[in-house]
Amino acid sequence: MNNPTKGLTGSIVAIVTPMREDKSIDFEALARLIEWHVREGTQGICVAGTTGESATLNVEEHTQVCAFTVAQVSGRVPVIAGAGANSTSEAVELTQMAKGIGASATLQVAPYYVRPTQEGLYQHFTRIAEAVDLPLLLYNVPARTGVDIELATTLRLAKVGGVAGVKDATGSIERASEILHARPNGFGLYSGDDATAAALMLLGGEGTISVTANVAPTLMARLCEAARSGDARAAARLHLQLMPLHKSLFIESSPSPTKWALAQLEKIEAHCRLPLLSLSETAQPLVLRAMQEAGLFTPR
């Protein structure tokens, strides 16, 4: 597989899964979100990930959301399908689904809760990569999974055919620097932490799989363009403009703040599925203030 990360660059939105009041999936709203992102310069869509509430989607819904997104995008930007699981066999099945619907790549989170060893992680991701011929992005988010894909394991996996890159959500610029220093050609590094995304890209990372891009797609696309072209001043200006939003979108469990913010922009309804709740009234003014500071449209 020659340079599997080609085309997977810039601002890739970790898109929410819109839901109605009865908690059914709102596909009409999802279609509108996708069209908005394409117009505003988002360079890729990651569907059915953490921000897409994948943990609350059943297998049929997971497939429907991914297939709908691929069809709606219709090749205009890459689509990364969330296909991770804490069971290797289930992750293989989801990856086979992603290939069947025409996704550009999959995002594979470290198995959560079971806390595998580093060798277990290596064998898990290798098995998926060998089973399905589709670029695979590792997803390292130890704060959620309880296990870190350590640097040595990441670099070992980077040599496995089909393992195209890593979404690093540790927020550690030191870790990012170590990956950039030692990675083989064609292995992409993507930020999974909006607050450090600009720095990661200025160092040479390919892009960000972003929560903030849900709410501020144009600004995140501009930030990525500036950072990836080496325009540190412009990247810093946009980073500081967005920093309050980066923080406020995690003031309560994600994606509750993001969905509430999108509801203020009249893009979707703010509903989440249990055990997640809609954003509390206490937190709402803080998110609204951050939206105002970013210069986004806010209610009259």
| Runs of H (alpha helix) within 11-87 | 27-40, 59-73
- Active-site residue, from 23, 122, 167, 267: 167
- The backbone region for 151, taken as left when phi is positive above 0, alpha when psi lies in -120 to 50, beta otherwise, is alpha
Q: Is 259 a catalytic residue?
A: no
Q: Is 6 a catalytic residue?
A: no
- The backbone region for 174, taken as left when phi is positive above 0, alpha when psi lies in -120 to 50, beta otherwise, is alpha
Q: Which amino acid is at 205?
A: G
Q: Give the span between the Cα atoms of 229 and 52, in whole angstroms.
A: 30
Q: Give the span between the Cα atoms of 194 and 77, in whole angstroms.
A: 21
CA distances 213 to 30, 195, 225, 262, 294, Å, are 15, 12, 13, 11, 12
Residues 46 and 107 sit within 8 Å (Cβ to Cβ): yes
Catalytic residue numbers read 139, 167
